């Protein structure tokens, strides 16, 4: 049993601390966006705000949010596979219990890309209805937080691609590759949590 535990990678120490510090600074950035949103909402008044909120497609956004939240689950399964140094699946494609890190990360990437596609679709619909960044104060405080979050999700997608490419070129899957996967998962869970807060504030709190 002790030999088995010795082969499992420990959670990153210095790398994890650096990542957490960086994510803390990102959290402050989004906190400022939240403050801007609620301040503008208080100044504009509930009636004007309600008129703009009615333009949002909340059921579609809720579905899109569900996809992003579930991608955190698939990402974590990828981390579990990385921690046991399993790069690729060892069974059939439909045997999820046999999947390796790359299969779980590829699925996470697809779900994240779906979310971005859904956000672009929503933007297009809102612009068609006349809601733009410059059309009103609401437009500004809607597009800025959600847009910056979308950029962060896109950055996470790029990170997944980099991890999968590096792993495919590595001679063997070891502690270094597992550590990289774990750090990327920290970032992905962060953007998911931020979006849950954004969705709640923008779409649900009227």
Domain that holds residue 53: 2-204
Residues 6+ apart with CB under 8 A from 153: 68, 112, 115, 116, 191, 195
The pLDDT value given to residue 161 = 95
Kindly report the average pLDDT of the chain as a whole number. Answer: 88
pLDDT at residue 67 is higher than 80 = yes
CATH number at residue 16: 1.20.120.80
Taking each helix axis from N to C terminus, what angle separates 101-128 and 58-83, rounded to the nearest 10 degrees? 160
Domain count, the chain: 1
Whole-prediction pTM value?
0.86
Please report which confidence band the pLDDT of residue 5 belongs to, taking 50, 70 and 90 as the band edges: very low
| Cβ atoms of 120 and 180 closer than 8 Å | no
């Amino acid at each position: 049993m002790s030999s088995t535990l010795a082969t499992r990678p420990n959670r990153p120490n210095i790398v994890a601390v650096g990542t957490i510090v960086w994510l803390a600074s990102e959290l402050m950035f989004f906190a400022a966006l939240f403050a801007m949103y609620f301040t503008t909402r208080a100044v504009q008044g509930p009636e004007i705000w309600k008129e703009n909120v009615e333009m949002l497609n909340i059921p579609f956004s809720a579905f899109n949010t569900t996809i992003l939240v579930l991608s955190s689950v698939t990402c974590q399964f990828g981390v579990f596979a990385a921690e046991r140094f399993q790069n690729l699946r060892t069974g059939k494609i439909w045997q999820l219990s046999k999947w390796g890190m790359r299969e779980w990360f590829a699925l996470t990437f697809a779900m994240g890309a779906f979310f971005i596609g859904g956000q672009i679709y929503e933007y297009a619909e809102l612009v068609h209805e006349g809601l733009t960044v410059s059309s009103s104060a609401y437009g500004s405080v809607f597009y800025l937080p959600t847009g910056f979050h979308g950029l962060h999700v896109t950055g996470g997608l790029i990170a997944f691609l980099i991890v999968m490419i590096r792993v495919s070129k590595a001679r063997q899957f070891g502690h270094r590759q597992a550590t990289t996967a774990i750090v990327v998962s920290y970032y992905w869970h962060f953007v998911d949590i931020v979006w849950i807060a954004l969705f709640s504030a923008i779409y649900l709190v009227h």
